[in-house]
Amino acid sequence: MDRYTHFEDLSNEIFFEIFDYLHALEIFTSFTSLNKRISSILQSIPLRIVVLYNHSRRQVDFISSHLTFHAHQVISIEVYDKIRDYTSIIDLLFNRHNFINLESCLLVANSSITKLENVIK
Residue 80 phi, psi dihedral angles, 5° rounding: -85, 135
d(CA 102, CA 98): 9
pTM: 0.83
Angle of the 57-70 helix axis to the 89-96 helix axis, nearest 10: 20
| pLDDT digits 0-9 by tens, 48-74 | 999 988 888 899 999 999 999 999 999
Which pLDDT score is estimated for 111? Answer: 61
